[in-house]
Amino acid sequence: MAYDIPQLLAMSQAELDKLFTDSATGEIPNGEAVGTAIVAPGTKYTQEIATLISHFGWQGKNFDAARGVLRNRILAFGLNAIVATIYKGNSWFDGKECIVLDYSETSLVAQWIRDEIRQIGPGMYLGKVYWDKKRLIDFALQF
């Protein structure tokens, strides 16, 4: 099944967790992805928070699969900053393989952050954000 952003924003945390666990890793993506933060999943605030974050904080990620790195697009003008290394590894969420976006060696401001993504459809990835092994939020990447 293919998922779109409105469907993901309407899901509960339990539904997002199940989708993440049930999805295969997929290939490490390449190119520019539009990002959507999924905060307070399944509530009436999810869409509003996602829009606010997109306008003023985080717009997505630019992947360079050949080099194994990415840069986040942040701030209102789309600055490419906050670099992460990309590799396949075991998920902190369920122990299964995922694509790890690791900031520990590449970023002073985000060195405690780790993202994990899995492909949930053509050009669509679902991710989880961790701060020092504590899960924070989910997000979607659309290529």
Domains in the chain, CATH or no CATH each:
5-142 (2.40.160)
Q: Which stretches in the chain have pLDDT values below 50?
A: none
Sign of the Cα pseudo-torsion (111, 58, 95, 106, in order):
negative
pLDDT at 77: 66
CA distance 108 to 42: 33
